[in-house]
Amino acid sequence: MKHATPLLLAALGLGLTTSAAHAQNAALTARITTLAAAEQAKVVAWRRDLHEHPELGNEETRTAQLIAAQLKSLGLEVHTGVGRTGVVGILRGGKPGRVVALRADMDGLPITETTGLAFASTVKTTYLGQPVGVMHACGHDTHVAMLLGAAEVLSQVKKDLPGTVKFIFQPAEEGSLPGTVGGAKLMVQEGVLENPKVDAIFGLHIWATAPVGQLQYRPRGEMASSDRFTVKVIGKGSHGAKPWSSVDPVVTAAEIITALQTIVSRQVDLTQDAAVVTVGTVQAGVRYNIIPPDATISGTIRAFSPKTQEQIWAAIKRTANGIAAANGATAEVGIEPYVPVTYNDPALTARMLPTMQRTAGASNVVEIKAVTGAEDFACYQEKVPGLFIFLGGMTPGTDPGTVADHHTAGFKVDESAFPLGVKTLATLAADYLSQK
């Protein structure tokens, strides 16, 4: 070697450094794998406690207290009351570096549970003036538990982390009351991605119809945008026996509902973009034989591009106003943008794909088609590169057609999914921070 050139020596030195770095990363991944498996009992216990005590959006006070206490016990810097009831924990690694965020949502839904689980929710409350049950019918209890598990894992390897991990526990992912700002949008407004400034963010969602052991992802547009719309039809009331004396808002609203279905089927180019227009509520009248003076419908709009969003907004207004005018009524149309498209940054997705494949096994990492559900994780992705993935929660061998869907009273997941969830969150954070 005494005749080696300086360039060759430098190259050999780089090779040794790279090999050492790979070995160090492999050792860290192996330790995270072991620690994640050891967290299972705790994660299950947290999940069951949270499942039994669900809270609606912006009311997650008990949930926040549990999270804050656990993060403080790990020695993290903890901030509470972020975005009303959100909690943020900051873990500073043993070396300087970038900042990565991991996010979990906390809120339940106004649904009365029918699962029959030993830890099923029996919580009752009032939502929009109506008595309702409360249930974790979308898996947010599992998200919190797995992120707490990841926080425990990463806190045990923090001396080897070159950078900072910010744990974001977010309220109100399912939405705030109409006309109010909440969830990810409010947390971003309050600076959750600052101090320290986040360089990238990761999140995962349990998926009831994907088998345990599987990770699903999609670069670019993964989940749809979601907007709320309302149409109030103002007519003229009358006795139900004399409809000719009225301008019937119920019949007019019914025509509008039917016509709205043609926006997607006849006006959106479905070869280029998927879209949904769904009417979810119809409110009119107080008695069977009285034609009321007005009727209100509301619903949701889903799209995968701003262009299609705007096309649908215009079509709803045009359709509602035109039909109302044809019937002698008027229409007041309101459209409230809720969340943008969940957009997985292509470069970040490609960069972290090997991490996902190493974590779950290459055959268990599946690229999927776009999902018409929506996620306000998208609000973080508008500000920093983000990657949102799905974690299988269905017992392998189960027919997906027999599985209770998200947002239904019978929703269940297989708790054996949790170690992979904890491992994935922790490994994504560690690998991102360790990469040059």
Cα Rg, the chain, nearest whole Å: 25
Q: Which pLDDT score, from 0 to 100, does residue 182 have?
A: 94
405 classed as catalytic: no
Q: Please provide residue 216's backbone torsions phi and psi, each rounded to the nearest 5 degrees.
A: -120, 145
Any alpha helices (H) in 195-279, and if so which ranges?
Answer: 249-266
37 and 159 share a domain?
A: yes
Q: Are residues 304 and 367 in the same domain?
A: no
Q: Are residues 244 and 212 in the same domain?
A: no
Whether residues 264 and 319 share a domain: the answer is yes
Q: Evaluate whether residue 125 is within a structural domain.
A: yes
| 269 and 142 together in one domain | no
Confidence band, pLDDT 50/70/90 cuts, at residue 161: very high
117/136 Cα distance (integer angstroms):
12
Residues 140 and 96 in one domain: yes
Q: Is residue 96 part of a domain?
A: yes
What percentage of the chain carries pLDDT values higher than 70? Answer: 94
Strands 86-92 and 162-170: antiparallel
My answer on whether 131 and 215 are in the same domain is yes
Residue 392 lies in a domain: yes
Check residue 6 and give its pLDDT.
Answer: 53
DSSP line for 151-208: HHHHHTSGGG-EEEEEEEEES-TT--STT---HHHHHHHTTTTTTTTPSEEEEEEEEE
Find out whether 150 and 171 touch, Cβ atoms under 8 Å.
no
Query: Of 283, 314, 339, which residue is a domain's last?
Result: 339
φ/ψ of 372, rounded to 5, equals: -80, -5
In the predicted structure, residue 320 carries a pLDDT above the cut 80? yes
Residue 17 included in any domain: no
pLDDT in tens, 54-75: 999 999 999 999 999 999 999 9
> Rounded to two decimals, what is the model's pTM?
0.89
pLDDT band at 16 (very low <50, low <70, confident <90, very high): very low
Evaluate whether 106 touches 184 at the Cβ level (below 8 Å).
Answer: no
- Which CATH number fits the domain that encloses residue 219? 3.40.630.10
Asked if pLDDT for residue 405 goes beyond 80, the answer is yes
Q: Are residues 98 and 68 in the same domain?
A: yes
Q: Is the predicted pLDDT of residue 5 greater than 70, yes or no? A: no
Domain CATH code at residue 326: 3.30.70.360
Burial of 212 (0-12, 13-18, 19+ CB in 10 A): buried
User: Average model confidence (pLDDT) for the chain?
Assistant: 94
Q: Which of 60, 113, 173, 222 is catalytic?
A: 173
Whole-angstrom distance between the N-terminal and C-terminal Cα of the chain?
30
Q: Of 339, 363, 393, which residue is a domain's last?
A: 339
As given in the structure block, the two tokens for residue 68 are 């804050």
Residue 173 a catalytic site member = yes
2, part of any domain: no
Domain extent, residue 326, equals 225-339
**Rounded distance, CA 188 to CA 173, Å?**
13
| Confidence category of residue 391, pLDDT binned at 50, 70, 90 | very high
Q: 178 falls in which pLDDT band (50, 70, 90)? A: confident
pLDDT, position 15? 54
Percent of the chain with pLDDT over 90: 90
- pLDDT tens digit sequence for 91-137: 999 999 999 999 999 999 999 999 999 999 999 999 989 999 999 99
**Residue from 39, 105, 107, 174 carrying the catalytic annotation:** 107
Could you tell me if residue 13 is inside a domain? Answer: no
Give the pairing type, strands 95-105 and 162-170: parallel
191 within some domain: yes
Looking at the fold, whether 330 and 358 belong to one and the same domain comes out as no
284-300 confidence digits (pLDDT tens): 999 999 999 999 999 99
Statement to judge: residues 332 and 415 lie in one domain? no
